[in-house]
């Protein structure tokens, strides 16, 4: 009778060794009645074996295959739901530990192309524990040998009894004793397109090693995991490049101008966005303040943001005392050079000695004035965004601040990230500003941080989002 071939599940070849919990094959001339039961222990030789029919053996084996493939399917489903490199590495560690029967482990990420990021993530190991392991000579660690490009068999590198090995490095022996592990099992992490990504190693508290079937399943899982980690790595690199590009196009530091204190906070999404801020010293001890947002995301939006911000700087130097003229020039430039793109902007001509800001806005949210006796939005003229009209011009407004008050300029991403309707988002922002503790009001950075954490709680401010967030806080002394 031919044994059926189970279907492939989750991209894995279902031709795997016999399940560990099935009975052994019947030797020629041996009656099935003499084959030990699957649940029988090695030392229970005095217990009579239960006879098993050949069909029962086949069904048990098929059930084992289906169980293993189902497990692999569930583990890979959990892996593909991870959307960040750190989460993917942690999931690989947890799944691998379950497959090989270990409790602790680590992944050393070190892509072969040398472009990084290089990092080490632990499971059941504190940062100090990882530091101790890093003091061991790399060549004496199984995952170190993998990272060095030494050949590794299909079954990985098993060290079933570290303290029983005569050639074990003394430092490795010392660290293993301190951390309480006596055996290890390591596998490479790689992908077809990128090559080596790193190595994973799982640690056993007692002398042990995975069986043949455990190694086979762990190898199948890590081969699949390598492809997913390669995709997450590329996303991580893209995110880092876009963040670096956006940060380089924004001010590297804010100017120091007598009479005001400045602080800025910027959060960008993984694709990069077009939100910006600026603070530029102007003649007569004045200061040009700007926030804005370009439509779209990705490299094109970041580049457009850089061009628009540079143009606004030039116009503010030439005619900054007239914010309406500055935005009118910016509107004309955008309409002529990038007719398919629109932008919002808010520009203010600040006179610190007079504690006065003359503001003009183009489709932008109003500033928020935060003081001891008042917290209110500044009324600005209603206007369409830049690039939406044949000719833009709206009247400016003047804001008169009191000593110790802070003016908060922000982009719409702060409101959009809340997920609330506009009226509720504005109410949340107002409540957050009104609730700034008295002891933090003297520091514009503390004010911005409090507003950011309150409006976007539970890590929403730092989570991946298509919406950029910019806050520029200006405190009058």
The first and second tokens of residue 284, run together, are 């007569």
Residues 193 and 214 in one domain: yes
Residues 263 and 281 in one domain: yes
pLDDT recorded at residue 381: 74
CA distance 224 to 10: 9
pLDDT recorded at residue 455: 95
pLDDT recorded at residue 233: 94
Residues 322 and 281 in one domain: yes
CB atoms within 10 A of CB 386: 26
C-beta separation of 470 from 364 below 8 A: no
pLDDT in tens, the chain (477 residues): 444 443 333 334 434 444 444 333 333 333 333 333 333 333 444 444 556 677 777 777 788 788 888 999 999 999 999 988 999 999 999 999 999 999 999 999 999 999 989 999 999 999 999 999 999 999 999 999 999 988 887 789 999 999 998 889 999 999 999 999 999 999 999 998 889 999 999 999 999 999 999 999 999 999 999 999 999 999 888 878 877 777 778 887 899 999 999 999 998 876 677 899 999 999 999 999 999 999 888 788 888 888 999 999 999 999 999 999 999 999 888 888 888 889 999 999 999 999 999 999 998 999 999 999 999 999 887 788 888 866 666 789 999 999 999 999 999 999 999 999 999 999 999 999 999 999 999 999 999 999 999 999 988 877 777 788 999 999 999
- Using CB atoms within 10 Å of the CB of residue 9, give its burial: 0 to 12 exposed, 13 to 18 middle, 19+ buried: middle
| DSSP H or E run through 473 | strand 469-476
HEC-encoded secondary structure of 191-224 = ECCCEEEEEEEEEECCCCCCCHHHHHHHHHHHHH
Q: What is the CATH number of the domain that holds 215?
A: 3.30.450.40
Q: Where are the beta strands (DSSP E) in 12-96?
A: none
Kindly state whether residue 12 falls inside one of the protein's structural domains.
no
CA distance 120 to 106: 7
Domain end among 212, 240, 268: 240
**Structural domain harbouring 337:** 250-476
Cis bond upstream, residue 117 (ω within 30): yes
Kindly state whether residue 193 falls inside one of the protein's structural domains.
yes
pLDDT recorded at residue 391: 64
HSE of 84, CA atoms in CB hemisphere, 13 A: 10
Q: How far is CA 347 from CA 187, 367, 405, in A?
A: 57, 11, 19
Residues 178 and 87 in one domain: yes
Residues 210 and 287 in one domain: no
pLDDT recorded at residue 390: 62
DSSP annotation string for 143-163: HHHHHTT----TT-EEES-GG
Domain end among 240, 266, 296: 240
Kindly state whether residue 2 falls inside one of the protein's structural domains.
no
pLDDT recorded at residue 321: 94
The first and second tokens of residue 117, run together, are 């990021």
C-beta separation of 347 from 288 below 8 A: yes
Instruction: Look up tokens 């090989």; give the residue.
Output: 100
Residues 226 and 314 in one domain: no
pLDDT recorded at residue 2: 45
Kindly state whether residue 206 falls inside one of the protein's structural domains.
yes
């Amino acid at each position: 009778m031919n044994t059926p071939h189970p279907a492939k599940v989750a991209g894995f070849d279902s031709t795997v060794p016999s399940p560990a919990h099935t009975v052994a094959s019947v030797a020629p001339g041996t009656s099935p009645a003499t084959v030990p039961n699957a649940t029988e222990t090695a030392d229970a030789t005095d217990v009579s074996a239960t006879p098993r029919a050949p069909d029962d053996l086949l069904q048990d084996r098929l059930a084992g295959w289906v169980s293993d493939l189902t497990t692999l399917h569930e583990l890979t489903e959990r892996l593909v739901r991870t959307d960040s490199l750190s989460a993917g590495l942690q999931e690989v560690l947890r799944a691998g530990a379950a497959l090989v029967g270990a409790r602790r482990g680590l992944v050393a990420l070190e892509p072969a192309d040398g472009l990084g990021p290089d990092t080490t993530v632990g499971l059941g190991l504190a940062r100090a524990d990882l530091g101790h392991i890093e003091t061991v000579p790399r060549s004496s660690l199984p995952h170190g040998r993998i990272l060095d490009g030494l050949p590794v068999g299909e079954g990985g590198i098993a060290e079933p009894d570290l303290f029983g090995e005569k050639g074990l490095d003394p430092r490795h022996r010392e660290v293993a004793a301190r951390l309480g592990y006596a055996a290890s099992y390591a596998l490479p992490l790689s992908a077809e397109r990128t090559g080596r990504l790193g190595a994973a190693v799982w640690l056993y508290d007692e002398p042990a090693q995975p069986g043949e079937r455990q190694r086979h399943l762990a190898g199948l899982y890590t081969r699949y995991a390598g492809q997913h980690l390669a995709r997450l790595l590329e996303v991580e690199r893209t995110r880092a490049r876009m963040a670096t590009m956006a940060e380089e196009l924004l001010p590297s530091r804010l100017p120091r101008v007598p009479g005001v204190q400045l602080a800025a906070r910027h959060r960008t999404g993984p694709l990069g966005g077009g939100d910006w801020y600026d603070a530029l010293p102007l003649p007569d001890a004045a200061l040009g303040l700007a926030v804005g947002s370009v439509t779209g995301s990705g490299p094109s939006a970041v580049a457009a943001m850089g061009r628009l911000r540079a143009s606004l700087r030039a116009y503010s130097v030439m005619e900054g005392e007239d914010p309406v003229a500055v935005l009118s020039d910016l509107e004309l430039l955008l309409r002529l050079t990038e007719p398919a793109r629109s932008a919002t902007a808010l520009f203010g001509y600040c006179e610190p000695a007079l504690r006065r800001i003359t503001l003009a806005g183009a489709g932008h949210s109003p500033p928020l004035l935060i003081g001891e006796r008042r917290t209110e939005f500044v009324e600005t003229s209603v206007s369409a965004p830049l690039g939406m009209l044949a000719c833009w011009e709206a009247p400016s407004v003047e804001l008169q601040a009191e000593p110790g008050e802070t003016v908060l300029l922000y982009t719409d991403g702060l409101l959009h990230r809340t997920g609330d309707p506009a009226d509720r988002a504005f109410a949340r922002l107002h409540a957050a500003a009104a609730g700034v503790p008295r002891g933090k009001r003297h520091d514009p950075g503390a004010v911005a941080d409090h507003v950011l954490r309150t409006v976007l709680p539970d890590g929403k401010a730092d989570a991946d989002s298509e919406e950029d967030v910019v806050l520029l806080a200006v405190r009058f002394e």
